């Protein structure tokens, strides 16, 4: 089959460019570029054949098709040669029934998609494997790329550094100083990336990296580069596959730069176009109240959008005031009858801690999504029997200070609702037994 894919201007001027060109915006009109596929060729395979192809490959060993992303290669990036693919078997993350947490909220069919159980601990791996593989292909075709680079709130940089070092390509990382966790900071350092901590916020790092991107020999890995979206699209395909090709009712996803919510929508739209599904879920995008430009736009029925200066939030990966994928995301939310809601610092921390009590270990961004879900249940926007999926975007182990801070009493302040502080006591049998008794009888 002659599968094909290319960049196309999203602003309607229709200009196309090859994926091997180092370009992020349309030369005609400055519009963002989107990856397009030759859908007519994809449609020549029946829905049943696509499903059985994906099933045969899923989580098996044949490289690279056992990867959750590359198992869907034809729908993701068919033009990259298998020999240039850099995969660490991303995707294939667990989707599990959160029975106890759902019960507490009043939901019988709540599921969590653990995208953080991945090579570098966040969903960013899904897109980065595609981007770095494309760069490897460009270099193989004698393109002059000396390094890949990104600005990051911590997870994009971890992912880029890992895949770039697996490919043997130098990586340049721009991070806002003291605004990423220690765990996120050490990842690119360990992988040998040039790691620059700048005295600014994410949006400040982004401004500099965009300037650097004028040089064609540094390849930009931020989500303004829509190649990553193609890999992240597989989140939706994988969810549907994990449910034996049934479409859920609702998906709740945290949003910052809004690439992931866009990817989620585009994945479902592609499945619909190929006849693999026959309806769409509804999507709720969850923002931190302190970094909520999309929520504010939603309040105007998406007629207005204003970039803001994001305030400091525990949900650091979504502390973004000027999201690059804003227009893509709004298009997706309109198509999916979507909603946007927000969570305060207290709400997101309580929601994460409450769900942790039922066996999870949530990152703060997942806490934002869980807090929004809680409000949706209270508003009766979701019904008891609705099948609801929460996208958990990162592994909680990357955010220990968030948890340590929560389970710590501050003198003079009321304790958090789900506090579970460690108790220090003498190494004495009677004393230990007394504490256990007091705990179990409480």
Query: Of residues 254, 265, 293, 416, which one binds ligand PLP by CB under 6 A?
Result: 254
Return the one option of Zn ion, ligand PLP, none that residue 29 interacts with (CB less than 5 to 8 A, by type): Zn ion
Return the one option of ligand PLP, Zn ion, none that residue 299 interacts with (CB less than 5 to 8 A, by type): none
Contacts with ligand PLP, 312-331, as mask; x by CB under 6 A: -----xx-------------
The whole-angstrom separation of Cα 219 and Cα 215 is 8
| 136/233 with CB nearer ligand PLP | 233
Nearest 10 degrees: Cα torsion 10, 34, 225, 126: 140
Return the one option of ligand PLP, Zn ion, none that residue 318 interacts with (CB less than 5 to 8 A, by type): ligand PLP
Query: Of residues 71, 102, 256, 396, which one binds ligand PLP by CB under 6 A?
Result: 256
Return the one option of ligand PLP, Zn ion, none that residue 317 interacts with (CB less than 5 to 8 A, by type): ligand PLP
Query: Of residues 102, 248, 255, 267, which one binds ligand PLP by CB under 6 A?
Result: 255
124 binds ligand PLP (CB under 6 A): yes
The whole-angstrom separation of Cα 342 and Cα 308 is 15
157 binds ligand PLP (CB under 6 A): no
**Minimum CB separation from ligand PLP for residue 244, in Å?**
28
Return the one option of Zn ion, ligand PLP, none that residue 297 interacts with (CB less than 5 to 8 A, by type): none
Query: Of residues 292, 387, 393, 416, which one binds ligand PLP by CB under 6 A?
Result: 393
Instruction: Name the residue with tokens 């499945």.
Output: 271
| 282/365 with CB nearer ligand PLP | 365
394 binds ligand PLP (CB under 6 A): yes
184 binds ligand PLP (CB under 6 A): no
Could you list the residues that contact ligand PLP (CB under 6 A)?
Answer: 122, 124, 155, 223, 254-260, 317-318, 363, 365, 393-394
């Amino acid at each position: 089959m002659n599968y094909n894919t290319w960049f196309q201007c999203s602003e309607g001027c229709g200009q196309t460019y090859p994926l091997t060109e180092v370009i992020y915006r349309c030369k005609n009109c400055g519009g963002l570029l989107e990856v397009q596929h030759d859908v007519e060729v994809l449609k020549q395979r029946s829905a049943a054949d696509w499903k059985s192809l994906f099933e045969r490959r899923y989580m098996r060993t044949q490289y690279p098709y056992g990867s959750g992303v590359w198992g869907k290669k034809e729908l993701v990036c068919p033009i990259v040669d298998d020999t240039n693919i850099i995969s660490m078997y991303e995707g294939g993350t667990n989707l599990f029934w959160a029975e106890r947490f759902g019960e507490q909220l009043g939901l019988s069919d709540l599921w969590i998609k653990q995208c953080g159980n991945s090579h570098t601990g966040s969903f960013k791996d899904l897109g980065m494997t595609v981007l770095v593989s494309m760069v490897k292909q460009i270099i193989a075709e004698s393109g002059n790329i000396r390094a890949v680079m990104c600005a990051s709130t911590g997870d994009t940089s971890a992912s880029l550094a890992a895949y770039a070092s697996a490919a043997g390509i130098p990586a340049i990382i721009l991070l806002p100083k003291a605004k990423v966790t220690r765990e996120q900071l050490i990842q690119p350092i360990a992988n040998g990336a040039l790691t620059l901590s700048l005295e600014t916020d994410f949006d400040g790092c982004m401004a500099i990296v965009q300037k650097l991107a004028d040089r064609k020999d540094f390849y930009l890995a931020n989500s303004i580069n829509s190649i990553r979206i193609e890999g992240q699209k597989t989140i939706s395909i994988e969810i549907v596959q994990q449910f034996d090709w049934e479409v859920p009712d609702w998906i709740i996803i945290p949003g910052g730069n809004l690439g992931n919510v866009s990817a989620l929508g585009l994945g479902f739209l592609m499945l619909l176009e190929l006849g693999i599904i026959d309806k769409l879920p509804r999507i709720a995008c969850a923002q931190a109240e302190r970094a909520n430009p999309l929520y504010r736009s939603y309040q105007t029925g998406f007629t207005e959008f204003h970039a803001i200066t994001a305030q400091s939030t525990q949900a650091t990966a979504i502390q973004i005031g000027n999201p690059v994928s804003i227009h893509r995301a709004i298009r997706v939310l309109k198509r999916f009858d979507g909603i946007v809601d927000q969570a305060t610092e207290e709400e997101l921390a309580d929601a994460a801690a409450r769900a942790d009590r039922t066996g999870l270990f949530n990152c703060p961004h997942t806490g934002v999504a869980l807090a929004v879900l809680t409000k949706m249940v209270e508003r009766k926007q979701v019904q008891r029997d609705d099948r609801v999926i929460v996208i958990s975007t990162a592994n909680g182990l990357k955010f220990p200070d968030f948890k340590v801070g929560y389970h710590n009493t501050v003198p003079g302040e009321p304790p958090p609702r789900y506090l579970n502080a460690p108790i220090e006591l003498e190494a004495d049998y009677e004393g230990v037994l007394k504490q256990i008794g007091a705990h179990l009888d409480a």
